[in-house]
Structure 1
Amino acid sequence: MNLVRCLAFSVVLAPPAAACDLALALAVDVSGSVDSGEFRIQMDGLAAGLRDPIVSEALVRAQAKLMLVQWTGASRQQVTIPWTRISSFDVLETFAETVATDQRVWRNFSTAIGEALETTMASFDEVPDCKRHLIDLSGDGVSNEGIEPSRLHRALRARGITVNAIAIEESEPDLTAYFFENVIVGEGAFVVSAARFRDYPERIRKKLLREVTQQTAKLQ
């Protein structure tokens, strides 16, 4: 068999690239009610949650794509870590480290959850190959500027995007109920509550476990 035929044969037999089973956008609240220490708790806690052995294995198995967006007031949402395919544990570790060292973009603005959802929703145009699309939004207050988040629900449903949330109730004791009624959307959508920022790391870890192990179960 000559070289050309050998190359052709190897191309035919090459295994197809693994499919992406989950696109997960991590939307982090950096509004004025979040001080520098609370911002750091969120980022370090999120990085630790991604490093959880069960979470990390599920993300690699799903060949998940992850991104991170910081959000605050209207017109102030920024993707700080673009979509990254979690093709190996090394890639996941690099992503988690980038989360842990991500620099805050804004400090003293309002809370525009609707715009956060709208901006994040548009980013899924970049990952049409993934089977499941999910926004994981954290927040410590109700939306007080811009589009009402509930007005985005129809568009999110039409695009098959699920929104889950973690409500940090340190200054808003009824925030979980607000998120249930106005923010989350999609099949199986849920809210996790953190009574204080110091509870965030453990709560976000459990939230990620619930989200990604659901996907792993579907793969089995």
Structure 2
Amino acid sequence: MIRAAALCAFVPLQAEAACRHALALGLDVSGSVDATEYRLQLDGLATALDSEAVRQVLFAQPDAPIRIFVFEWSGPDHQRVILPWTSINTQSDLTEVLTRLTSTFRVESSLTTAIGSALQVGFAALGFQSECWQRTLDLSGDGPSNTGPRPQDIAPDSLPAGTTVNGLVVGSGNMRGDDARFADIKELSAYYRNYVIRGPGAFVETALGFEAYADAMERKLLRELQSLAIGMAGPARE
């Protein structure tokens, strides 16, 4: 269930200019993610957003900026907004986003993994961005769902029209050998492809461990944000 307080972060504070792409990013903070991995995830997202290639895409159309929303999730009752909807028009806007990400500290959360609940929160957030030309939900995770509604049971009509759900799956940690890590990532990628991702052009990106998260996130952002042809206009219809 989505908490009423969280809904406030979904709604823009005031009318804004045309929106090229609304991108909601959900980060897994369940019990399998330790303190070091939590930091690698937040700082990795910041590093990816601040890469030269991604900045070029972000600033390509100042009159139709990209909007970003970041939340963390674990069990059915833990979804915390880290960054409310924010338009990135200038370097100053991006700097504020990066500061928010790198200065966020972990709070107590559920040990379980509720991907279905994370999907519902992402859909609710994107539902307030219907004027954007393209809408995408990204879910990062290092394991399958084990509580709450199963992702495959989330009704197709709950997905906002024209929305794509992509995944970034993270393989097992440093203490395991390469063969085990490749096996883990292959299995988890198949799970996300079968049950989590959906919508036009949906895909799964992979990181062999959280130490590879920043590079994987940059690849994913570039693939998503470059998919919309410059000059295309017109929001998805509900």
Same-fold status (TM-score > 0.5): yes
Q: Which stretch shows the higher mean deviation, 134-143 or 92-101?
A: 92-101
Indicate the structure (1 or 2) with the bigger Cα radius of gyration: 1
Secondary structure of the structure 2 residue equivalent to 1:83: strand
* CA shift digits 1:74-130 (9 cap, x unpaired): 121121210001121210121122112222233442000000010111112332221
Secondary structure of the structure 2 residue equivalent to 1:205: helix
In 1, the alpha carbon distance for the partners of 2:200 and 2:155 equals 12
Secondary structure of the structure 1 residue equivalent to 2:105: coil
Q: Which amino acid aligns with 1:105?
A: V
Q: How does 1:168-179 map to 2 (within 5 A)?
A: 168-170=170-172, 172-173=184-185, 174-179=187-192
Kept in 1: contact 2:22–2:66 (CA 8 A): yes
Partner of 1:210: 223
Cα 1:125–1:157 change in 2 (3 A) is closer
Q: Which amino acid aligns with 2:208?
A: A
Structure 1 unmatched runs, 5+ = 1-16
Partner of 1:8: none
Partner of 1:45: 44
Q: Which stretch shows the higher mean deviation, 90-99 or 186-195?
A: 90-99
Q: TM-score, normalised by structure 2?
A: 0.80
Residue in structure 1 matching 2:214, options 197, 201, 205 = 201
Count of residues in correspondence between the two structures: 203
In 1, the alpha carbon distance for the partners of 2:119 and 2:88 equals 23
In 2, the alpha carbon distance for the partners of 1:96 and 1:136 equals 18
Cα 1:85–1:70 change in 2 (3 A) is same
Normalized per residue, the structure richer in helix is: 1
1:219 matched to 2:237: no
Partner of 2:179: none
CA shift, 1:157, in A, is 4.3
Kept in 1: contact 2:171–2:209 (CA 8 A): yes
Partner of 2:32: 33
CA shift, 1:152, in A, is 2.3
Partner of 2:128: 126
Partner of 1:155: 157
Kept in 2: contact 1:19–1:130 (CA 8 A): yes
Kept in 1: contact 2:78–2:110 (CA 8 A): no
* CA shift digits 1:11-55 (9 cap, x unpaired): xxxxxx741010000100000000000000011110010011221
Q: Which amino acid aligns with 2:127?
A: D
Kept in 2: contact 1:26–1:137 (CA 8 A): yes
Residue in structure 1 matching 2:72, options 70, 77, 80 = 70
In 1, the alpha carbon distance for the partners of 2:92 and 2:172 equals 35
Cα 1:153–1:191 change in 2 (3 A) is farther
CA shift, 1:155, in A, is 2.7
CA shift, 1:71, in A, is 0.2
Kept in 1: contact 2:30–2:112 (CA 8 A): yes
Secondary structure of the structure 2 residue equivalent to 1:38: helix
Q: Which amino acid aligns with 1:24?
A: L
In 1, the alpha carbon distance for the partners of 2:56 and 2:215 equals 18
Partner of 2:194: 181
How many percent of aligned residue pairs carry the same amino acid? 38
Kept in 1: contact 2:123–2:159 (CA 8 A): no
In 1, the alpha carbon distance for the partners of 2:74 and 2:197 equals 18
CA shift, 1:57, in A, is 2.5
Secondary structure of the structure 2 residue equivalent to 1:103: coil
